[in-house]
Every structure is written in C-alpha cells, then in structure tokens.
A and B are shown apart, each in its own frame.
Chain A
Amino acid sequence: AQSVAQPEDQVNVAEGNPLTVKCTYSVSGNPYLFWYVQYPNRGLQFLLKYITGDNLVKGSYGFEAEFNKSQTSFHLKKPSALVSDSALYFCAFDQIMIYNQGGKLIFGQGTELSVKP
C-alpha cells in the first residue's frame, strides 16, 4: 500500500539551530508530497508541496523541503529554529484515483517538534 512514514515521534532542537523533520514515502509514479503543520488546538496549515521541478521546495515561515527520489525522502528543514516553530508536523501525499475523479490526502503519523530557548 502507498504511504508516507515519519520515523521520529519527536524532535528536540535548540533555538537557533537547524532543524530536520524526516519523511519517507512509498508511492508509485510521481508523488505529490506535502507538509502541514498543526499548532496546539488549531487546524492543519499548509507549509509547502512538491509537485515537479526543483527538488528543493521553499514554503511558509522559512521552511523548505528536499525531494530525494533515490532515497524516497522528503525531509522538512529550517536553517534556524524558533521557539514558535514548536508544533506537530505532518508529511502527506496526494493519492489520486484518475478513473473516478477520486483521491485523498494521506498523512504520516506526525512528528512533534519542540524548540527550546
């Protein structure tokens, strides 16, 4: 079955240090990959997406992600973490079903990012 996986339940980073939140995918064809963030007691906010083109994708709040086809990864990165980046991060892929106009976003398990001052 097609899926995305986030191998780390939690990532702890000191403010000002670079951060990486990992995501690997098992998706046939050309995957459309996304990162969403969920702040405490809030909804899901879109951060960035990879569709095609440059493997390095830039998104909101200074985040970026690198699509690596050989390693089937789409890790989320930020050069300098802020305390306000502390949240739950979800990797996802868009599962399209051409025949019936269907499809849906499939999420990974989520990674809790904690940035300490």
Chain B
Amino acid sequence: EPEVTQTPSHQVTQMGQEVILRCVPISNHLYFYWYRQILGQKVEFLVSFYNNEISEKSEIFDDQFSVERPDGSNFTLKIRSTKLEDSAMYFCASIPARDRGHGYTFGSGTRLTVV
C-alpha cells in the first residue's frame, strides 16, 4: 500500500537554528498538508498546499515557517529560527483530490526536539 514517507524520524536542534522536515507524499496525490502535535495533545493543522502554492495556513504558521515542493516528489517544511515551543511531532499528509470521501494518508511523523 502506498505510503507517505517522512524524514528524519527524530531531529534535535538548538534554539535559533533552522530545520527542514522532509516528506514524500504518495505519487499521484495533489493536496499536501502539515500538522503538528505537541506531545500527547491535539493534532493541529499548520498548512495546506496545492498547485505549488499555499491554500490555507493556520495562525500557528507564522513567518518563521515556510513550505516548498522543490521537485516532483518532496514536500518540505522549514522552520527558520526554532523556538523551544516548536518541539512537537510534525506530520505530513496527502490526498489525491478534494472530492470528499478520501481519507487523508499520514506519514509516521518527525519528532522535533528544540533544546
């Protein structure tokens, strides 16, 4: 069964450093998402991406965050200057189309620890 792949599985970074989280969505999917989950808490929407541009972003997704689809396969989330409160599990997800009924496929996540 096709999977959404995320790398790395765990990243430790110092406060103020830039990090890039990587995702490879399912190949024929067109809509891509990043979600965040602070340890054991609710899964929160960060951003959606379609046709090489952001469709929607939450209030969490401030100027420190950016997303990119640099080639035909990768979808990245960049945090320019990490803060302690950015420590969380970050999930990438994708769906093939926006007609309702498709389950979102999530990657296994990247655990980001900011020290």
**Interface window among A15-23, A62-70, A76-84, A98-106:** A98-106
Cβ of A24 to closest chain B Cβ, rounded Å: 16
Given contacts A105-B45, A107-B43, A110-B41, contact A100 B108 (CB under 8 A): no
Complex interface residues of chain A between 40 and 73 (CB less than 8 A to chain B): 42-46, 49, 51
CA distance A19 to B41 in the complex (A): 22
Q: B75 contacts the other chain (Cβ, under 8 Å)?
A: no
Q: A14 contacts the other chain (Cβ, under 8 Å)?
A: no
CA distance A97 to B48 in the complex (A): 12
Q: How many A-B residue pairs have CB under 8 A?
A: 67
A90 engages B43 (CB within 8 Å):
yes
Number of B residues whose C-beta is below 8 Å from A?
26
Task: Give the secondary structure class of A's interface.
Answer: strand
Chain A residues lying within 8 Å of B35, measured Cβ to Cβ, are: 105
CA distance A111 to B48 in the complex (A): 25
Chain B's closest residue to A43 (CB) is B108
5 further contact pairs, Cβ within 8 A, besides A102-B98, A103-B48? A45-B106, A94-B100, A101-B55, A109-B41, A109-B42
9 shortest interchain CB distances as A-B pairs? A43-B108, A44-B106, A102-B55, A107-B43, A46-B103, A51-B101, A102-B56, A32-B100, A104-B45
Identify 17 residue pairs between A and B in the complex whose beta-carbon atoms are under 8 Å apart, listed by A's number: A32-B100, A32-B101, A42-B108, A44-B93, A46-B106, A51-B100, A51-B101, A88-B40, A101-B31, A101-B55, A103-B98, A104-B56, A105-B33, A106-B45, A108-B42, A109-B42, A110-B42
